[in-house]
């Protein structure tokens, strides 16, 4: 049995948090590969070390004096080292970083130092081997993650290495330059390490006890999700539920390795299990609800549209020509509606409308703005009759006008379009009917 354990920034923000992490790792000898983030916020108004590094490097790049900013970063790490009673020194590392900043090593290199230095501290604290991610995680010349090369080198490197710390968030380009994943990318590193080492579990430790059925800013004390499939999670994260970087599921999913989201501040909680498939029923018919505001619908009408071959393609071509992605395309006999992100569409709307006229010659086009989309997701919906009925009667009782309904053919989700102003009321109504009253 072996586990990869990834710790997020808030789990490593101070020496106190480091100690909790140390206890968690030492408590289970299967926790063999540790992937740390950079130190996060110690209190709400604090600044993450990654953000301090970006700001410091901006000064360096502009040719301004950045020593004060770099000293503040060094002080953050020194505070952790002192608090843990370690005798290591990062002085030489900081001299190197300063000289690389002067030589304009790039903002990716700068940002990656948070994870790199935290990894050195963590390895010393746990007495694990330190493996610099730049020697085992690779990107290609275009900057895309090179999965094959990484997996080959990393699995070989870990074969004879029982306990190691591998910093998250970065790797190296073919020319040796450091490159990072997008923000929150240490989650991705954890998943890559889990795949290469073929571990049994990827534990992702953060500051919440897993996923919640709904956003706690909308629902008071929402219930947690015990177990969720990768597919359900994809649906929910696409619609705005964030705990895990969305690219983090792919490497482990291919290998059938489950992810367990855990809380460093409440290690006794089981958290959420993310799995390929399960015969375990969720407690409720739905697994989760998520949504986003800020969509527009473009309604296109044309008599006999259903008989015109290629009509849908021509409409979508008008969006493609303007580099706009679409979300949903519900259609009727003589109408087709395209849902798009308002902020992407707003500035190009007249170009798109002209394009639709040119390509598809519609009878009328009508645009509606300030819409929200809500995804009700659950593997349990497939085997339960009346789910849609319950959703819509709950919405009717809450006085919410439903503008669009779209059930995915996998019966895993139902997407509902409502006005922005009805967004919160709609989520409350769906949560209440499935979770609180369990009707």
Given the rule CB under 6 A, which of 180-188, 269-277, 340-348, 403-411 is the region that contacts ligand ASP?
180-188
Task: Choose which of 168, 251, 378, 417 interacts with ligand ASP (CB under 6 A).
Answer: 168
- The residue to which tokens 């004096």 are assigned: 65
| 169 touching ligand ASP, by CB under 6 A | yes
Q: How many residues bind ligand ASP (CB under 6 A)?
A: 13
Identify which of residues 263 and 342 has a Cβ nearer to ligand ASP in the complex: 263
> Please, what's the b/e burial string for 42-57 (b: 16 or more CB within 10 A of its CB; e: otherwise)?
beeebebbbbbbeebb
Contacts of 365 (CB under 8 A, 6+ apart): 298, 299, 300, 301, 353, 356, 357
Identify which of residues 69 and 187 has a Cβ nearer to ligand ASP in the complex: 187
| 184 touching ligand ASP, by CB under 6 A | yes
Given the rule CB under 6 A, which of 151-159, 184-192, 269-277, 410-418 is the region that contacts ligand ASP?
184-192
Q: List the structure tokens of 159.
A: 């074969």
| 183 touching ligand ASP, by CB under 6 A | yes
Identify which of residues 132 and 334 has a Cβ nearer to ligand ASP in the complex: 132
Give the residues across from 415 on adjacent strands.
Answer: 375, 406
Task: Choose which of 11, 17, 37, 204 interacts with ligand ASP (CB under 6 A).
Answer: 37
| 10 touching ligand ASP, by CB under 6 A | no
Pairwise CA distance, residues 75 & 59, whole Å: 18
Identify which of residues 52 and 372 has a Cβ nearer to ligand ASP in the complex: 52
Pairwise CA distance, residues 208 & 215, whole Å: 12
Structural contact between residues 403 and 419, judged by C-beta atoms closer than 8 angstroms: yes
Given the rule CB under 6 A, which of 63-71, 143-151, 183-191, 304-312 is the region that contacts ligand ASP?
183-191
CB of 341 vs ligand ASP, minimal distance in Å: 23
Given the rule CB under 6 A, which of 179-187, 209-217, 296-304, 365-373 is the region that contacts ligand ASP?
179-187
Pairwise CA distance, residues 434 & 286, whole Å: 7
Given the rule CB under 6 A, which of 152-160, 181-189, 328-336, 411-419 is the region that contacts ligand ASP?
181-189
Task: Choose which of 10, 17, 50, 264 interacts with ligand ASP (CB under 6 A).
Answer: 50
CB of 425 vs ligand ASP, minimal distance in Å: 33
- The residue to which tokens 């303007």 are assigned: 322
Measured in degrees and rounded to the nearest 5, phi and psi for residue 172 equal: -130, 150
| 119 touching ligand ASP, by CB under 6 A | no
| 171 touching ligand ASP, by CB under 6 A | no
| 186 touching ligand ASP, by CB under 6 A | yes
Task: Choose which of 31, 32, 48, 403 interacts with ligand ASP (CB under 6 A).
Answer: 48
Measured in degrees and rounded to the nearest 5, phi and psi for residue 322 equal: -100, 15
Identify which of residues 185 and 291 has a Cβ nearer to ligand ASP in the complex: 185
Identify which of residues 32 and 48 has a Cβ nearer to ligand ASP in the complex: 48
Structural contact between residues 112 and 178, judged by C-beta atoms closer than 8 angstroms: yes
CB of 6 vs ligand ASP, minimal distance in Å: 8
Annotate 326-343 with DSSP letters as a single string: EEE--B-SSEEEEEEEHH
Q: List the structure tokens of 361.
A: 């010659």
> In the window 55-114, what residues touch ligand ASP (CB under 6 A)?
114
Identify which of residues 18 and 339 has a Cβ nearer to ligand ASP in the complex: 18
CB of 105 vs ligand ASP, minimal distance in Å: 17
Measured from each CB, the residue nearest to ligand ASP is: 186
H-state helical runs in 62-212: 67-84, 91-102, 107-126, 147-159, 186-197
Pairwise CA distance, residues 391 & 434, whole Å: 9
Task: Choose which of 171, 185, 291, 378 interacts with ligand ASP (CB under 6 A).
Answer: 185
Long-range contacts from 391-398, C-beta under 8 angstroms, 24+ separation: 391/416, 391/430, 391/433, 393/433, 394/429, 394/430, 394/432, 394/433, 395/426, 395/429, 395/430, 397/429, 398/425, 398/426, 398/428, 398/429
Given the rule CB under 6 A, which of 177-185, 274-282, 360-368, 397-405 is the region that contacts ligand ASP?
177-185
CB of 83 vs ligand ASP, minimal distance in Å: 20
Q: Are strands 413-419 and 201-206 parallel, antiparallel or unpaired?
A: unpaired
Contacts of 217 (CB under 8 A, 6+ apart): none
Q: Which residues form the interface with ligand ASP (CB under 6 A)?
A: 9, 37-38, 48, 50, 114, 168-169, 183-187
């Amino acid at each position: 049995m072996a586990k990869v354990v990834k710790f997020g920034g808030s789990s490593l923000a101070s020496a106190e948090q480091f100690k909790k992490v140390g206890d968690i790792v030492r408590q289970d000898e299967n926790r063999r590969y540790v992937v740390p983030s950079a130190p996060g916020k110690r209190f709400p108004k604090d600044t993450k070390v990654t953000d301090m590094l970006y700001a410091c490097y901006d000064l360096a790049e502009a040719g301004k004096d950045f020593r004060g900013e770099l000293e503040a970063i060094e002080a953050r790490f020194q505070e952790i080292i002192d608090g843990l009673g370690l005798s290591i020194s990062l002085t030489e590392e900081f001299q190197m970083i300063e000289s690389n900043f002067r030589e304009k090593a790039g903002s990716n290199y700068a940002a990656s130092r948070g994870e790199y230095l935290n990894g050195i501290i963590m390895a010393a604290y746990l007495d694990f081997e330190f493996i610099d991610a730049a020697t085992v995680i690779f990107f290609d010349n275009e900057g895309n993650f090179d999965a094959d090369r990484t997996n080959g080198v990393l699995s070989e490197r870990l074969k004879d290495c029982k306990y190691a710390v591998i910093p998250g968030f970065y790797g190296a380009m073919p020319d040796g330059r450091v490159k990072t994943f997008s923000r929150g990318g240490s989650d991705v590193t954890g998943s890559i390490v889990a795949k290469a080492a073929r571990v049994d579990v990827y534990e992702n430790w953060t500051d919440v006890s897993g996923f919640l059925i709904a956003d706690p800013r909308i629902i008071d004390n929402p219930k947690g999700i015990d177990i969720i499939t990768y597919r359900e999670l994809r649906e929910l994260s696409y619609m705005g539920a964030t705990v895990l970087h969305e690219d983090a599921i792919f490497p482990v999913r291919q290998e059938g390795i489950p992810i367990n989201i855990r809380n460093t501040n409440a290690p006794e909680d089981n958290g959420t299990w993310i799995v390929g498939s399960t015969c375990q029923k969720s407690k409720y018919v739905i697994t989760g609800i998520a949504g986003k505001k800020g969509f527009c619908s473009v309604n296109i009408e044309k008599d006999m549209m259903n008989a015109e071959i290629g009509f849908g393609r021509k409409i979508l071509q008008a969006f493609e020509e303007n580099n706009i992605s679409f979300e949903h395309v519900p259609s009727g006999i003589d109408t087709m509606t395209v849902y798009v992100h308002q902020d992407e569409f707003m500035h190009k709307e007249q170009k798109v409308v002209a394009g639709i006229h040119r390509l598809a010659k519609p009878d009328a086009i009508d645009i509606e703005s300030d819409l929200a989309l809500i995804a009700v997701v659950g593997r349990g919906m497939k085997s339960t009759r009346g789910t849609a009925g319950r959703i819509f009667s709950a919405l009717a009782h809450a006085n919410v006008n439903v503008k669009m309904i779209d059930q995915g053919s996998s019966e895993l989700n139902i997407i509902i379009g409502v006005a922005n102003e009805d967004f919160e009321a709609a989520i409350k109504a769906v949560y209440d009917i499935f979770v609180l009253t369990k009707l």
